[in-house]
Amino acid sequence: MTIPRFLAGFDSASAMLRANAAFLRGEPFPALGESTALKPLVRATRMLPARLREKVFIGSGALETVSPRRMSRVDTEDISRWISEEYPQRHYPAVAIGSASGALTHLWTALGIPWLPQTFLIPVRQRVHPDDPAGAMIKAIEPGRALLRGNPDVQLHHMHDANQDRLMVRALTYFRIKRRTLGAGYERFLTERLAPGGTIVIAECTSTWGTTALGSRYVFQHGAIGGATEEEFHHGSERVAEYLERYGSPVRRWYGPEPDRTAPEAEWGFEPALRADIERFAREHGYRVRRLVFEQPESPSPLVADLYRWWYSQRGFPASRLYVESFIVMEPWWVLRTGSVPFWMTFNTEGSYRGLESYLEGHEPFDEILLTLFQNGVEAVGLPTVGEWRRLLAKARRSGRFAGLRAEDHPRDLAQYTLYDKALRKLPERRPMPEPLTLKKLDEFLAGADEYPGVRWVDGR
């Protein structure tokens, strides 16, 4: 079954789900899960000038949009049916549900379990000026209400980010829906695939954002996690003014609706209403519940990297290569096949840079570092330079290099999306694929590990 027509394939949830499902099927995850037949065309974009590459990027997103007139016909249970087809039909000792995180994608694959996202992106076909968040909000109100009328078990977060998503928001509106209940499809999946007495792991990212209420289940979010801060989205700064001037904007700061409440961050934050429904379902069916609570989407990255290093040590071989992933540029299957340690960054912005820098400085050096950077076509606020990334690569004892990226084209090297896995595939080392980690082995690691800031495990009853 193909992805529902109204969902974005380039989103964190759908891409991470497909990467996870591909691994459980015993398959790699090339080209972000898209058709490999398109690889030559995408690589050919390196011959285009920068501005034309930007247009290609916008066009690729526009191809996935859905008409605002179709919002009343969207049925979110179609998502459950698609997910059921993605994952192999067998019993699992555990199932994860909740927030997206590339680091946790590697945890789920290590455990050999499926993950059911809470949040999905519906890209609505609407043209707006990226620097007019208030106009974008108003234009989307009626389509948003139509979507909610037909789907009473979800809430809608309209996210408008003129910084990292500057190119895309010209062509589409970001509708992110969050499940408030499991729904019939997710309940059926758990009943059929979760082994009797199994565990439901709830992934809860506590990241929040100031929003404007448009209804009881409808909020508008101006800005998003990335290079610019929430304060800068609402009140501007010198670097925002410089960024807007560089892109020829008629304004020097954004004037959006004032927030009147705090809500879970649109893409990453967890809506607690779902937890209550999961706990109700678990009680009724005799399942155990464990909660993994984390402050930011990349907060679990050091924990998962250390888990892999420990796991490789348990298996008797060194963990001397670090594979750094960014957003949806990931490859769980080849990471394990080559014995590489995964470290995931939310984006390629300052916060992620500091997180990777802190990890490298606080751990024994790696012999080799391979680094991917998400390519969104925008020289956004808070984007480190290529030289700064090279400084981190230089921390490798033997070799530090970009994985499939032509650095001089960053952040417009779309060809990296077809080449990031090649850096792993061409390595001569091959490790046998291990049996999945058990929850007992995970607990063994956690018992001997240090505390990880911003991450905590909570056992339910």
pLDDT band at 17 (very low <50, low <70, confident <90, very high): very high
* Structure confidence by residue, pLDDT tens digits, 413-424: 999 999 999 999
- Return the minimum-mean-pLDDT range out of 40-54, 367-381, 393-407, 437-451: 40-54
- Return the minimum-mean-pLDDT range out of 237-241, 255-259, 289-293: 255-259
What pLDDT is recorded for position 460?
A: 53
Please give the torsion angle defined by the CA atoms of residues 398, 403, 409 and 415, in that order, rounded to the nearest 10 degrees: 160
Give the pair of three-digit tokens for residue 107. Answer: 């945890």
Q: pLDDT at residue 128 above 50?
A: yes
* Structure confidence by residue, pLDDT tens digits, 60-69: 888 899 999 9
User: Span 82-87, mean pLDDT?
Assistant: 97
Residue 323's contacts (CB-CB under 8 Å, 6 or more residues apart) are 331, 335, 340, 341, 342, 343, 370, 403, 424
**Could you give the 3-state DSSP secondary structure of residue 400?**
strand
Average pLDDT score over the chain? 96
Query: Pick from 23, 204, 30, 192: which is nearest to 113 by CA?
Result: 23
Q: What distances in angstroms separate CA 156 from CA 141, 214, 219, one per listed residue?
A: 11, 10, 6
Q: pLDDT at residue 1 above 90?
A: no
Query: Pick from 427, 383, 384, 390: which is nearest to 405 by CA?
Result: 390
Burial 325-335 (b: 16+ CB within 10 A, else e): bbbbbbbbbbb
pLDDT band at 294 (very low <50, low <70, confident <90, very high): very high
The CA distance from 148 to 214, in Å, is: 12
What pLDDT is recorded for position 461?
A: 39
